[in-house]
Structure 1
Amino acid sequence: MKNAVLHLENAAIYQRDNLVLSDVNLTIDKGDFYYLIGKTGSGKSSLMKTLYGDLSLKQGEGSIVDFNLKKLKEKEIPFLRRKIGIVFQDFKLLSDRNVFDNLKFVLKATGWKDKEAIKNKIHEVLEKVGMKSQYYKNTYELSGGEQQRVAIARALLNDPELILADEPTGNLDPKTSMEVMELLTEIHKSGKTILMATHDYQLIVRFKQKTIKCEGGKLFEVAQQASV
């Protein structure tokens, strides 16, 4: 358990008052990469939202990056989100400011004050995602793939212990999806732990990782497919 970044035991996942997943048992250790798959409505998003504190864990046990999900208080959620990076399907960038200021906004909101440190950190994460030269552009000037790269850079800002990627390629064309997936694979190789919800089976076949599936109200690990 000492390497577990995420641990759920006999957990029940609710979407409002509806039970969507029961008896969830899951342990993700430092350095793991898991895909989370399942049809729309199978509970993937509800599970993700429970992990980053949008939905509360009502039954069972759960811990994520040393936070107890069962006892998580509203005021602790910002601190939890400093230790995890979240990448959304629809990027969730602020359209009224440029790339640099999008990232600066997050750092300031999470307690960074030193201007030089802020600037250095932003250029460091933009370098990692291949967007350093575009730091001055407004987000609406960027392509979907570029916006997702900025969103991934944003997820890396506070050096998270775990990255939760919720359908990160859902709004992208196949070529751009591959590029984003290659980037996430590089980030994983650098030592990051990733849980990625996806319905893109091309990616799962091409970039093989452990896979868990939501189906019929349960969560279970899927056997590795043979190489294609």
Structure 2
Amino acid sequence: MEEPVLTLKEVAVYQKENLVLKDINLEVMNGEFVYLIGKTGSGKSSFMKTLYADLPLKQGHGRVVGFNLKTMEEKDIPYLRRKLGVVFQDFKLLPDRNIQKNLLFVLKATGWKDPVLMNARIEEVLEKVGMKTKGFKFPHELSGGEQQRVAIARALLNDPELILADEPTGNLDPQTSVEVMKVLQEINKTGRTILMATHDYALILKYPSKTLKCDGSKVFEVVQKAV
């Protein structure tokens, strides 16, 4: 039987000394598309940060793409993040360089050396998100939706086993949110696992999928019904 991409057992999530979430038990299998919902302040971002080792796992057992979050050392974090793609609400593109150089920066930072391979990879991921002709543009020359597409392309660079999308449509209007969602759906169809934190219930109704909820310091699966 194949190993889950993500397993958490009896996990508690802390922000410094404050307990944010407790008693988390869940598995995400390869190829799933999973929503993480919950009110602002319910712990969604802290949950995500624990998964990409921005917050240390102090309690419980957690495995993400083959890494043990509890025993992992500081030096292993870059290797974990190479197998994850993280998409943020506010895009996090570097404003002082064009899109091509933004993506090049990530490849160099994650150990790529060959310029030919790097350029080919950048072209490939930009094409996947419908931004192939925009590599020479700077972030400020793009719309919010285009910037988020580039952010998704950046998350794909290292062929991640799991994409963590933290409110990827949070700063976008409804129409653009649907376009970005379609990109994520297409990526999921190629067999990639996506965990997406959102409070956009319209998207969940339009694209129903397995849903986890943060509420009352717990994370649990909700059975979808008409809201």
Q: Distance in 2 between matches of 1:149 and 1:225?
A: 30
Q: Distance in 1 between matches of 2:111 and 2:57?
A: 27
TM-score (norm 1): 0.98
Q: How does 1:15-30 map to 2 (within 5 A)?
A: 15-30=15-30
Q: In the alignment, residue 101 of structure 1 is paired with which amino acid?
A: K
Q: What's 2:224 paired with?
A: 224
Q: In the alignment, residue 179 of structure 2 is paired with which amino acid?
A: E
Q: What's 1:146 paired with?
A: 146
| Offset, 1:23 | 0.5
Q: What's 1:172 paired with?
A: 172
Q: What's 2:91 paired with?
A: 91
SS at match of 2:47: helix
Long gaps (5+) in structure 2 = none
| Offset, 1:212 | 0.3
Q: What's 2:45 paired with?
A: 45
Q: What's 1:105 paired with?
A: 105
Q: In the alignment, residue 93 of structure 1 is paired with which amino acid?
A: L
Q: Distance in 1 between matches of 2:174 and 2:167?
A: 13
Q: Distance in 2 between matches of 1:40 and 1:84?
A: 24
Q: In the alignment, residue 11 of structure 1 is paired with which amino acid?
A: V
Q: In the alignment, residue 176 of structure 1 is paired with which amino acid?
A: T
Q: How does 1:48-63 map to 2 (within 5 A)?
A: 48-63=48-63
Q: What's 1:214 paired with?
A: 214
Q: Distance in 1 between matches of 2:73 and 2:44?
A: 23
Cα deviations by residue, 1:55-87 (Å, 9 ceiling, x for unpaired): 001000000001000012111111110000000
SS at match of 1:4: coil
TM-score (norm 2): 0.98
Q: In the alignment, residue 66 of structure 2 is paired with which amino acid?
A: D
1:122 and 2:122 aligned = yes
Q: What's 1:11 paired with?
A: 11
Q: In the alignment, residue 146 of structure 2 is paired with which amino acid?
A: E
Q: Distance in 1 between matches of 2:211 and 2:38?
A: 10
Q: In the alignment, residue 128 of structure 1 is paired with which amino acid?
A: K
1:184 and 2:187 aligned = no
Q: In the alignment, residue 197 of structure 1 is paired with which amino acid?
A: A
| Offset, 1:3 | 2.8
| Count of residues in correspondence between the two structures | 227
SS at match of 2:63: strand
Q: What's 1:195 paired with?
A: 195
Q: What's 1:136 paired with?
A: 136
Percent identical pairs in the alignment equals 68
Q: Distance in 1 between matches of 2:141 and 2:123?
A: 19
| Offset, 1:225 | 2.1
Cα deviations by residue, 1:103-131 (Å, 9 ceiling, x for unpaired): 00000000100110000000000000000
SS at match of 2:79: helix
SS at match of 2:171: coil
| Offset, 1:2 | 3.0
CA RMSD in angstroms, aligned pairs only: 1.0
| Offset, 1:16 | 1.0
| Offset, 1:221 | 0.2
